[in-house]
Amino acid sequence: MVKLTDEIKAEFAKMRIFPFATASKDGTPNVIPIGMCYLQEDDETIWVVDNFFNKTLKNLQENPQASIYVWGPDIQGCYQIKGDTEIVTNGPDYDKMYTMVKAKGKMFPARSLVLMKINDVFECKGGPDAGRKLL
């Protein structure tokens, strides 16, 4: 697993909506906007909350690899983060996530927690370093 640097963590903290990309077993891509995405204290795990996943959940069940990127008007760099996921529907991590989500609003079902263990981070802004592995 890979730990994010302080620079990338600072940029991650500025994000409000994260593009979350998955692919089915046959490689059909899917990308959705995620508002509930949290870097954990170990700096190598991201929690993604499943409130309304449909194709995304099916994809993760078939193919546990996912990717998000960190970029926007207030972000200095552009980072593509890739990792392996695990779907959690009970236990201490799920309970903690459920409590956090319900505190934001009862309309959020908090159906499952997707734990994403970071494997790689790549440069995703244009130029000669585009696609370069950073971590």
Tell me the per-residue pLDDT of 99-108, one tens digit each, with 9 for 90 and over: 999 999 999 9
Residues 6 or more apart in contact with residue 128 via CB below 8 angstroms: none
Structural domain boundaries of the chain? 6-123
Band of pLDDT at residue 114, cut at 50, 70 and 90: very high
> What local confidence, expressed as pLDDT, does residue 1 receive?
86
Residue 11 confidence (pLDDT) above 90:
yes
Q: Compute the distance between CA of residue 128 and CA of residue 66 in angstroms, rounded to an integer.
A: 25
With 0-12 / 13-18 / 19 or more C-beta atoms within 10 angstroms meaning exposed / middle / buried, residue 63 is: middle
> What local confidence, expressed as pLDDT, does residue 126 receive?
86
User: Residues 91-98: what's their mean pLDDT?
Assistant: 97
- Quick one: CATH architecture of 6-123? Roll (2.30)
Nearest-CA neighbor of 67 among 83, 54, 53, 79?
83
Q: Compute the distance between CA of residue 19 and CA of residue 83 in angstroms, rounded to an integer.
A: 14
> Which of the 8 DSSP states describes residue 77?
S
Residue 35 confidence (pLDDT) above 90:
yes
User: Residues 89-97: what's their mean pLDDT?
Assistant: 97
Residue 13 confidence (pLDDT) above 90:
yes
> Which of the 8 DSSP states describes residue 30?
E
Average pLDDT across the chain, whole number: 95
